[in-house]
Amino acid sequence: MAKNSGGAGKSLVRANLAIHEPPVGKSNRPGALMRTFGFEFNPAQLSLSQRTQWKATPTAAVRDGSKPEFLGAEPREMTVEIFLDSSTKPNGNTVLKKVDSLLGCCKVTAKSIAAKKPSPPWVVFQWGSFSTARFTAYVSSIEATYTLFGTTGIPIRATCQVHLVEIPGKTKGQNPTSGALTAQRVHRVVAGDSLQSLAWREYGSATAWRTIAEANGIDDPSRLPAGAELVLPAAEEVSR
């Protein structure tokens, strides 16, 4: 498959995979953001599928069969290809580390074990305004194919097929004025940011900082290191 070139400019929106702790309790919202896996090259293609279940019971008295009964919709599934390349630095182990980071999405997190509800991370694929492909999911499988190796045998190029399965939640609410679906977004902390300032800028109320802290598992709001990535809940969730 063709890959995106690095000369597209800084304005190019990169896809990423937000990797979260699984939630505590019965919540259907992802837990604290663990890390964000940034794509070096945007996907050349991805496949998205959804199926429905129907039941039709044969009836002897009806020649063409009975009317099918709708049983429900199955979760969405998506397969995305991630291309990794560090051939310009043949002695580095960047590709190895990134593949290990993806494989970690299939491993139980330490926090979930401590909470006695072992679970691998929950993830959200994000690519700019491509909202159809954005949903909370778990990683059902990862297949990594190494295609180029350095002189020491370390892989310096790989292609990963990541299969995501939606974790269904409640039907999303809609903004009564615009009809838009609610959505979280990720903010990268810069110098001078505080939870209060983010809450004021995002929701118009500094007191909403507690919602941001809860969504990201922050115990000490005074410690907000630059570069950290925070999930900002939808305004509708804050108002609730």
Domain boundaries, the chain: 14-50+71-169, 181-240
Query: Contact, 233 vs 203, CB < 8 A?
Result: no
Instruction: Supply the pLDDT for residue 230.
Output: 82
Instruction: Supply the pLDDT for residue 61.
Output: 65
CA dist., res. 148 & res. 159, Å (int): 10
Instruction: Supply the pLDDT for residue 180.
Output: 39
Instruction: Supply the pLDDT for residue 26.
Output: 75
For the whole prediction, is pTM greater than 0.95? no
Instruction: Supply the pLDDT for residue 237.
Output: 64
Nearest to 71 by CA among 61, 81, 57, 60: 57
May I ask the CATH class of domain 181-240?
Answer: alpha beta
- pLDDT beneath 50, residues of the chain: 1-10, 171-182
Instruction: Supply the pLDDT for residue 177.
Output: 38
